[in-house]
Structures are given as structure tokens and as C-alpha cells.
A and B are shown apart, each in its own frame.
Chain A
Amino acid sequence: MSSSTELTEKKVFLLKSLDGVIFEVEESVAVQLEVIRELIEGDCARPFISLYNVTSEILALVIEYCKHHAETCSGGTSATIADEDLKTFDNEFMNVDENILLELCSAADYLDIKSLFELTCRTLASLIKDRTIIEVRKMFNVENDFSVVEEKAVRKEFAWAFK
């Protein structure tokens, strides 16, 4: 790749996180963020884009995810091998604590990355599914603001679900 034409050949975008950290990403990665793809298609994409709702810690992870997906999909490997590879990557990528998982989910929604949004939602659901109500409250700091009477009433309404 010749260095003088690199900028014109490979479009690069600078993404600025909430806490002011700047990330350089190639167009193939940037377009996975639907918000940015829409800007590019509408011809209003500037090379410098501020993302006000995403911290640098989360943005770094989001870019890692998009980069891997962009590379795997554009590589010459067959569809089934690429699928396997992405599955393995996604599984490992979701091996983070629940705070990061929630922030990734929120960021994927804000940046409009459908596959990451679905992946984080699915992972959060599995965390809820395997736990009791008390465990879920503890894990996600959910405060039980029902009175004893109120909680009893909800349990009674859906008694079949608590059997």
C-alpha cells in the first residue's frame, strides 16, 4: 500500500468518546455503526464525529467488535467457517462483567449496531434466566420498592408463573 494515497484510498474516521478519547477507524468498520453509515450515505459525514453517549472504555470494545466482524466477513473464508469464527469470537467477547455488558447494550442501541445489540440482549437474558429473583436483584442492584402487600398481590395475579 503506498503511503501517499492511503488517505484517499482508505477513508478514515475519527470517533471521539464522551471522555474525549479519539479513535481512528477505517470506513469498513465505521459503517457497521448504523448512525455513521446513515451520515455517510446522506453525504454529511465529517471525518471527525463526536459520540456523546459512549465512554472510551466501551467505545474501544465496540470498535474491537466491529473490526473483527468486518474482517471476518470480508475475508476469503467460506460462509460456514466465517460463521463458526464469529460465534467463537462473540462468545468470548461476551465474557465481561454485567456492568460492561449493560453499557455495551446501551451503546449498541445508541450507535445502532444491530448484531451487537441482539448479542448483548441475548446474553443479559441468559444471566436473568438462570437466577432467582433475589439473585437478579443483587446482581444488578435492583431495589425492591414493593411493599409486602404489593408484592404479594403481583405474585397472586401471576401465580402460575411462580409455581
Chain B
Amino acid sequence: MTSKRRRGNNLPSEIRDRFSCLSDEIIGHILSFLPVKSAVRTSILSKRWQNLWNFITNLEFEENTLIATSSVYDVEHVLSCCTSPHINKFSLTVNCYVHDERLESWINYIIKRNVRELRLEGSVFPQCIFTCKTLTVLELESGVLFDDEDIPTCSDIDSDSDTDSDALFENKDIRIPTSFDLPNLKTFRSCLLYYSCDFMEKLLSSSPLLEDLTIEGTVTSDFIFDLSCPLLKRLKIVLRGRKERKDVQCKIVINAPNLEYLELVDISTVEYDVENLTSIAEVKIDTRWEVFVNRSILWLFREIDTLKSLSLHDIFISVLNSGQRRDLPTFYNMNRLELFGKCYSHQSRIACLLNVCPNLEVLILHKVSVQYYDRELPSLLGDKRTVPECLLSCLEVIELDGFEGNKEDMEMVKYFLANARVLKKLTIKSNLDFSVCKRLLELPMSSLTCKIHLC
């Protein structure tokens, strides 16, 4: 924490500069929470403030910095003014896919200042990033990985600033950084145009402390990622496939005994080989591919012992309901279930899931517009007299997002209110007219303590 240096404050508070109770260092620390531009603007508050922003340790440049133009001046000017020996965070967006010595010199400069968090967007990423020993957080967005050679020159792209960078690099020989050493890295978030197995493998093996990993991008060629990180706690994978590249073979191996949170979004044709998820508590899967569901559902349900929260698209339910998957295991630890679908599944459809979650406390149903998926869901439980165990004993919160108030919606609310005996809160998110609200509030309730929130 900062050293204590205070000014006298004997003046009555009405006329006293209110910041006089704080030292210069503390004010510098406060300014560190502002984007660079806002911090610099405080220099004209008064003479005392003129150089206080020089103490800032977070350098977040919010707006795009165009390296090729004269606005480059601000980054250099700010770096030369900041006197703190440690830079906590450096964040910069540059929309220029060219190798630039200045960017590299800035990065080298902040690395010498022991930077801990680094976020770069829209640039060529200099090699020196990957050997920065002090880094704990690294975020790379829509950039390109390659070294000094074989990269386009300014003239290649100056002619058209809107060039689709994806297309631009389609045929370039993209090279990846050669050396990696990130002994303190705990968080790596990346949204890249291209991934290479070699890059991922080297990065992961050089960051033994990695706990939080996000991989976002487009699948363009065959790959196998081995994401076996012993300390990994959070993993998010967002991979989009290309329509014309359905034949691409992709495989991701996950072996992470400490993994607690796993999120897979809009998966393409990636195959997952998952094992050893002994700590998994929360899983979110958003996918449109039935083939993926069929493959993934097997491993998902192997990890039932620890799973506490599950978020799924209702395409899963159709698979769960179909054929040989009727015998679902029991999720004893599951207390939160969230489902997305084109309509609220009728209680008989979600009943199969509710039946295997005897300790469920929170149920959230979302209505989302779905174009890609239009298949009638089979009804599994014809017998409505069997009310799932969780409704009778523990389900306390139900949230319905996108409620339309049609007959099916009303039937479902009626069912929940009539059967959820310990329900405390029913939240309905929608723009309903008065008559529907009135009908909702008049429905009979089996719980004595239930409150209905309409918003």
C-alpha cells in the first residue's frame, strides 16, 4: 500500500479541498482505476493535480490507436511520463496488422516495468510477450501470430483499411512465436484468427500455473489441442466452424482434475475427449449440432458426482428423451438447471430432467429464437400425476425468460405453481398486458411463501 504523506487539514470542510486528506500516491492510485485519457484529463484540475496522473500503474488505452498515424504520440508520451517502477496493467487496441517496431518497443518497455496484466487487440503480437516472466494475465484478441518475416508491409493494406484480415492472411505463411516462458501466467484469454497446435502446446507447457483459459476462434484446418493442465479451474471454448469446411477434423483433449467450470459455445465439428474432470461443478453448453450432443453427452454424464449447475440447450433434451438414453443417472448435487429453447418445454418434456435432479433449487427457462433447430420434441412422461421430487421438497426459484402468455406458457406456470410446494420466488420476464398479469396472480399456489415477480 502507499506510504503516508498527508497535508494539514485544519480548514473548515466547506472551503477545504476535499482531496487534501489524501496523499499524492493515493490519488495516483485512484487515477489508476481510470482509462488513461480520463486520468490525463485530471491534469488541469489544479497545479497539484498536474502531474498526479504520472503515478498511475494501469495503462488502459480505451480507443483504437492507429500506429500508422501521428496519434502514436499519445502512447509514447504517456509511457515517458509514467514514473511508477511497476506497471500493473497495459491494455491497447491497434487496428493495424503490420509489424511495427514501435509497438514492440512499447511492449519491451512495459515488460521491463514488470507488467502483470497485458491485453492487446488487433495487432501482430510481438514475440517478447511470450517470454514475459511477470505476466499473470494475458489477453490477445483478433490478432495474428507470426514473427518478423513473411508479414505484409504497410503498403499491402494501406490501400483498403477495411480489408478482411481473415482473407488477407489466408495464404500467408504464418509462423508462431519460437520461445515461451510464462511461469506466472494464471489467466490466458485469446480470440485469434488462427490457432496452431504447436502454439497452444508450447504456451500451455510453459505456463504451469494456468487456472483460467479462454479459446475463441474459427476452425480452419485440422487440429488436436491437448488441454491437459493440472491446475486449470475455468475453461471456455468458443470455436466456430466454416460452412465450406465441414470436413475439418478437430479434436480437443481435456484432462483437468481441478476444472470447476466448463463452457462450450457454438461448437463446430470438434470432437472432445474428456477425462478426469473430478472437480467439475458447473457446465454450460450451447450447441446446434446434434452429432456433438450425442458424442458429448456421454462424457458429460460421467461426471455427475460433482456437477452442481448445468446450462443446456433443449436439443439435449430431445437426445435425452430419445432411444437408449432413457436411463439417466441421478444428479444428487445439482442445484441449478438452466435451459434454452425455442419454446418452454412442456412440463412433461423437462420432467425427465427434473426427475433426476432431486435436490434442484433453481430452475431457469429461456425462450430464444432458434432458426436452425425445428424438431418436435417427443413427450416422455405421459403420467402427469408423478410430480418430480425436487418440486415437492427443494425447488425454491423459477425464472421464465421470454414469457408470452400463450396457452402453453400459462399451462406450465399453472403446473409449477400447483406443484412446487416450497417455491419462494417465481420471476417472469416479459411485457405482459394487464389481463394476463391478473390471471397469473390468481393462479392457485401450493407454496405458502411464494412471491411472483413480473419484470
Residues of A at the B interface (CB closer than 8 Å) are: 98-99, 102-103, 105-106, 109-110, 112, 114, 117, 121-122, 124-126, 128-129, 133, 136-137, 139-146, 150-151, 154-155, 158, 160-162
User: What's the count of A-B pairs with C-beta under 8 Å?
Assistant: 98
What residue of chain B has the Cβ atom nearest to residue A103's Cβ? B21
Question: Which residues of the other chain, B, contact A103 by a CB distance below 8 angstroms?
Answer: 21
**Contacts A141-B15, A160-B71, A161-B41 given; does A146 touch B2 at CB 8 Å:** no
Residues of B at the A interface (CB closer than 8 Å) are: 1-2, 4, 6, 13-19, 21-23, 26, 29-38, 40-47, 49-50, 71, 73-74, 77
Complex: A158 Cα to B71 Cα, angstroms: 11
Q: Are A142 and B45 in contact (CB under 8 A)?
A: yes
The smallest beta-carbon distance between A90 and chain B, in angstroms, is 15
Centre residue among A117, A125, A151, A161 by max chain B CB count within 10 A: A161
Complex: A22 Cα to B157 Cα, angstroms: 70
Q: Which 3 A-B pairs have the closest CB atoms?
A: A125-B33, A161-B40, A140-B18
Q: Are A144 and B19 in contact (CB under 8 A)?
A: no
**Contacts A110-B4, A154-B50, A160-B74 given; does A102 touch B19 at CB 8 Å:** yes
**Contacts A133-B41, A154-B43 given; does A125 touch B31 at CB 8 Å:** yes
Extra inter-chain contacts (13) besides given A102-B21, A121-B26, A133-B41, CB under 8 Å: A102-B19, A106-B26, A110-B4, A112-B1, A114-B1, A124-B30, A128-B34, A140-B19, A143-B46, A145-B46, A146-B47, A151-B44, A161-B41
The smallest beta-carbon distance between A71 and chain B, in angstroms, is 23
The smallest beta-carbon distance between A67 and chain B, in angstroms, is 21
Question: Which residues of the other chain, B, contact A145 by a CB distance below 8 angstroms?
Answer: 46-47
Question: Which residues of the other chain, B, contact A141 by a CB distance below 8 angstroms?
Answer: 14-18
Question: Which residues of the other chain, B, contact A98 by a CB distance below 8 angstroms?
Answer: 18
Centre residue among B19, B45, B74 by max chain A CB count within 10 A: B45
The smallest beta-carbon distance between A99 and chain B, in angstroms, is 6
Q: Are A102 and B22 in contact (CB under 8 A)?
A: yes
The smallest beta-carbon distance between A117 and chain B, in angstroms, is 6
Contact of B38 among A106, A129, A142, A155 (CB under 8 A): A129
Q: Are A143 and B17 in contact (CB under 8 A)?
A: yes
Q: Are A117 and B1 in contact (CB under 8 A)?
A: yes
What residue of chain B has the Cβ atom nearest to residue A125's Cβ? B33
Complex: A143 Cα to B47 Cα, angstroms: 9
Contact of B45 among A109, A124, A125, A137 (CB under 8 A): A137
**Contacts A106-B21, A154-B44 given; does A99 touch B13 at CB 8 Å:** yes
Question: Which residues of the other chain, B, contact A155 by a CB distance below 8 angstroms?
Answer: 44
Question: Which residues of the other chain, B, contact A142 by a CB distance below 8 angstroms?
Answer: 17-19, 45-46, 49
The smallest beta-carbon distance between B132 and chain A, in angstroms, is 24
Question: Which residues of the other chain, A, contact B13 by a CB distance below 8 angstroms?
Answer: 99
The smallest beta-carbon distance between A116 and chain B, in angstroms, is 11
Question: Which residues of the other chain, B, contact A137 by a CB distance below 8 angstroms?
Answer: 45-46
Q: Are A105 and B46 in contact (CB under 8 A)?
A: no
Question: Which residues of the other chain, B, contact A109 by a CB distance below 8 angstroms?
Answer: 1-2, 4, 22-23, 26
Complex: A162 Cα to B74 Cα, angstroms: 12
Complex: A114 Cα to B31 Cα, angstroms: 17
Question: Which residues of the other chain, B, contact A102 by a CB distance below 8 angstroms?
Answer: 18-19, 21-22
Q: Are B42 and A136 in contact (CB under 8 A)?
A: yes
What residue of chain A has the Cβ atom nearest to residue B49's Cβ? A142
Q: Are B18 and A99 in contact (CB under 8 A)?
A: yes
